[in-house]
Amino acid sequence: MNNLLQMPLTEAVKAVKSKKVSAVELTRASLGRIAECKELNNFITVCAESALAAAAEADKKIALGGDPGPLAGVPVAVKDNISTKGIRTTCASKFLQNYVPPFDASVVTALRNAGASIVGKTNMDEFAMGSGSENSYFGAVKNFRERSRVAGGSSGGSANAVAACEVFAALGSDTGGSIRQPAAYCGVAGLKPTYSLVSRYGLIAFASSLDQIGPLGRTVRDCALMLDVLAFADPRDSTSVPRPQKTYSDFVPRVKGKRIGIAKEFFPDTLNADVRKRLNAAVAALEGAGAVVKETSIKSFNAALATYYVLSSAEAASNLARFDGIKYGYSDRSGDGLTDIYFKSRTGGFGDEVKRRIMTGNYVLSSGYYDAYYLKASKVRTLIKREYEDALRDCDALICPTAPSSAFKAGKKTSDHTQVYLEDVYTVPVNIAGLPALSVPCGTDGGGMPIGMQLIGKAFDEKNLFELAGAFEEITGGNADV
């Protein structure tokens, strides 16, 4: 591997701006690394030509003394459920395998305006439904550190590409943990921003009240720099709001006096021993550096997973109703009439997990069950939101594991697909409450696989999370065991 690729994003940008290296050189190195790592299956589409053109454009601006933008031609990747004009966007689904969006998602426009070189579209679970990036029409993603293990999901390709130094940062999307859990499994940092901080225009919808786009990077500051580019009020997404911070990437690592909340529900007796050990050590390290640790409680924690699977499946079933085989995507016209096109296209175009979610969603929304499931879950949602907000009133951040274990063995959980849902236990409540959360590496387990620590903050308090996680990174030196 070209050593240049191991720089953090922030350093790469500086190196390009100071002409120590050209953006074209970095992009070529990135494309070379992607070819070298083909076996990991991180990318569904590689766009060498347009990436090199964007890099050359940045280099040209620098040569003329102009501003190449905050990302200065540095190569990044985009999850394949985020629309890219002229570059196919598949959602890792047979249904969209040939779909080429006629427009860019707003975050992609922002990346392009920031001068980024988008080298490719990353592999994922089909329609972002999964926790292992195994439910892909294009084959499973293999964990860079141990190929027999999954990379997490659904943004597995993005997290793994960042971990393998194929790119300097990547975009993921997070509906119930799909940025944070793969970040934890691959040993990188990943942020799910506060709901509405980042525009969802052009993100192919899974569950609209929970979905959020966010960055993955090898350092906390890399994620902050990406958020500088990604957070803005977008007239095309009526839920998006102006950001409360001018800049995120100028945060100062700080831990002294910060109050950390630990809910007793986060550490049940059944928790994996390695995860417990690493989290305890991480909290002790933060306490040693001056943080104040408080015990707190989230009583509804155990009901969050059920709440999530009712709400997200209901929203998914509704959102995916648009895939009908008429205007774009997979279309099976072998039957007789319009209804046959719907049935045959959806039956042939969607994978098994997507069908399970559609079935679950339509079940909980169907006549006779709405009150018992959807309405009930919407009420429990209120409680979960209140309890997280209450706990955060006395704390600057809540800390818990990102996932209950390290990366699981490939194929292990595909036979029992509900088992895989348990992976989301720590991440889903954050989406339900709309809060920001950051996963950072906090050491490895006995087998050398990374373990993630999740820091959950108040709404729009991303900068505070960066300060705390940045300080933790300084204490541990990034990936090092504490």
Binding site for other proteins (CB under 8 A): 98-100, 102-103, 195-196, 209, 235, 238-239, 241, 300, 302-303, 305-307, 309-310, 317, 321, 324-329, 331, 333, 336-339, 341-344, 346-347, 350, 352, 355-356, 358-360, 362-364, 366, 373, 375-383, 385, 417-418, 433-434
Other Cβ atoms less than 10 A from the Cβ of 199: the count is 25
Rounded to a whole number of angstroms, the minimum distance from the CB of residue 50 to other proteins is 17
Of 182 and 325, nearer to other proteins (C-beta) is 325
| Closer by beta carbon to other proteins, 120 or else 434 | 434
Q: What burial letters (b/e) apply to 154-173, b meaning 16+ CB within 10 Å? A: bbbbbbbbbbbbbbbbbbbb
Nearest to 158 by CA among 31, 73, 71, 44: 44
Rank residues 98 and 113 by Cβ distance to other proteins and give the closer one. 98
DSSP H helical ranges for 233-375: 273-288, 304-319, 338-349, 352-365
Contact 395, 260 (CB under 8 A): yes
User: Smallest gap, in angstroms, from Cβ of residue 398 to other proteins?
Assistant: 17
Q: How far is the CB of 80 from other proteins (least distance, A)?
A: 16
- The Cα 215–Cα 228 span in angstroms is 10
154 catalytic, yes or no? yes
Measured from the CB of residue 279, what is the shortest distance to other proteins in angstroms?
24
Decide if 79 is catalytic.
yes
Q: Which is nearer to other proteins, 156 or 329 (CB)?
A: 329
DSSP state of 300: G
Q: What are phi and psi of 6, to 5 degrees?
A: -85, -10
Alpha carbon 461 to its chain centroid, in Å, reads: 18
Instruction: Tell me which of 17, 61, 79, 142 is the catalytic residue.
Output: 79
Closer of 41 and 173 to other proteins (Cβ) = 173
CB of 246 to other proteins, least distance (A): 22
**Of 93, 131, 178, 196, which is the active-site residue?**
178
The phi and psi torsions of 207 (rounded to 5 degrees) equal -135, 100
| Closest CB to other proteins among residues 306, 475 | 306
Name the catalytic one among 154, 158, 312, 313. Answer: 154
Cα–Cα distance between 377 and 305 in angstroms, integer?
A: 10
Integer Cα distance of 359 and 25 in angstroms: 48
**In the block, residue with structure tokens 């990174």:** 473
Torsion of CA 343, 346, 348, 350, to 10 degrees: -150
Catalytic residues: 79, 154, 178
